[in-house]
Amino acid sequence: MKSISMTETVTLPLDEASDISLRILLNTGLSAAQAESVSEVIVAAQRDECHSHGLYRLIGCAYSVNIGSINKTASPKVVDLSPVIVKVDADFGFSSYAYEKGISLAVEKARRQGLAALAINNCYHFSALWAEIEPLAENGLAAFALTPSHSWVAPAGGTKPLFGTNPIAFAWPRTDDHPFVFDFATSATARGEIELHGRAGKKIAPGLAVDQQGQPTVDPAEALQGAMLTFGGHKGSALSAMVELLAGPLIGDMLSMESKAFDQERGAAPCHGELIVIFDPSVFLGDKLGFNLSRAEMLFESILGQGARLPSQRRYAARLTSVTNGVTIPKRLFDDLLQLLPNEHGSFGRVTQTI
Ligand code: NDP
Ligand code: PYC
């Protein structure tokens, strides 16, 4: 008889997920403002079923705060560097809080000049990037975001960790629909995905990583100790180098290899910079804006017309479902999160079984 493996899961309404998340972060001693901004991106990722950057990340965030890496009372400083550049020194707090402080000035500049850059320095970064640029596209702007991480990824042709997982995200405004957004690691998968496979006792797909001897592996633990691989061979490798350069030396911040050395094997979230570039199509196009946005729509319709899907389409669908049904996480993760709550944590969630 075929054996069916059952996984115990817990389903939480979104407000309970937010409550747990915020209480865990506050319990670390993070300032309320910083905890709220971090919690918001974590819950948004869980809501959109981006599991590698959802509630699971609370474990790493709490750890990074508890070992003393994160500045709990970080006070980001915004510098108006030029007509098109805003810099924010995150003061060694989490990136999302620094982003919150700097984004409105960067948007103001983009609306005036047609484009602007927000460079964040000295931030601990663990989150999905779409959460930062999707709201910009909802307000008629296009944007992309880049950030390094820790050196975990081998360059194409090599076998030793050098690059970060280095995500690139891009957002484009749509007239009558959610923005077009993609957001992916330049490694063949996010490191968080490999960690989640490890936690679930599952193998990873071939082609994602090599072990410490440089041999291909599908074992998550070996992959985490060895080197991850870039997507698309030399192409992902070059894009990853671009992320290192634009969100590293260009803005005066650390490469992934420097971030890893800075961590001194403590295992905290990566600490480095982030670059967000914002475009205002209405400045580029003036009274031709509507016509050109409709040409963009023609592109999207042609993609969909072939039966292909747009990036973020799955995410937007998951969002709708989560608002009604709540979010479902493995019971093991739920139990780990309860350990991070203050002692009197009350009762949350509904335990279910999924196949
Ligand atoms: P995925 O490979 O899961 O997805 C990448 C993108 O491709 C998403 O926009 C996704 O849309 C889209 N996509 C997936 N399948 C299709 C398809 N069949 N057709 C069209 N589009 C598709 O992402 P990764 O594992 O590479 O990265 C996951 C997250 O990890 C990202 O949010 C990234 O920001 C984050 N990350 C953060 C890091 C950091 O340092 N802060 C480092 C590395 C990663 P959809 O979501 O709708 O499926
Ligand atoms: O999943 O690769 C990843 C990652 C690195 C930093 C934050 N997420």
Q: Where are the domains of the chain?
A: 1-66+312-355, 75-187+230-311
Q: State residue 343's pLDDT score.
A: 75
Nearest one of 136, 195, 202, 126 to 170, comparing CA atoms: 136
> Is residue 19's pLDDT more than 70?
yes
Best residue among 191, 229, 244, 259 to mutate for probing ligand 2, ranked by most atoms within 8 Å of CB: 191
pLDDT of residue 299: 98
Cα 226 from Cα 211, distance rounded (Å): 4
Q: 24, 62 in Cβ contact below 8 A?
A: yes
pTM: 0.95
pLDDT the model gives residue 92: 98
Ligand 1 is surrounded, with C-beta below 6 A, by 50, 52-53, 125-130, 147, 149, 165, 167, 169, 182-185, 189-190, 193, 309, 311-315
Q: What is the pLDDT of residue 3?
A: 39
- Mean pLDDT (whole number) for 265-274: 97
Q: What are phi and psi of 287, to 5 degrees?
A: -75, 0
Note the pLDDT of residue 348.
Answer: 60
For residues 312 and 133, the answer to whether their CB atoms sit within 8 Å is no
Confidence at residue 1, expressed as pLDDT on a 0 to 100 scale: 37
Domains 1-66+312-355 and 75-187+230-311 share a fold: no
- Answer whether CATH 3.20.20.70 is correct for domain 75-187+230-311: no
Interval 212-237 mean pLDDT: 98
Is the pLDDT at 4 greater than 50, yes or no?
no
For the domain covering 1-66+312-355, report its CATH number.
1.10.1530.10
Rounded Cα distance between 278 and 48, Å, is 23
Ligand nearest to the CA of 263: 2
Q: Which residues of 256-274 are buried (b: 16+ CB within 10 A; e: fewer)?
A: bbbbbeebeeeebbbbbbb
- Residue at token pair 């698309």: 232
Instruction: Please answer whether residues 254 and 275 qualify as being in contact, where contact means their C-beta atoms are separated by less than 8 angstroms.
Output: no
| Contact call for residues 353 and 7 (beta carbons, < 8 A) | yes
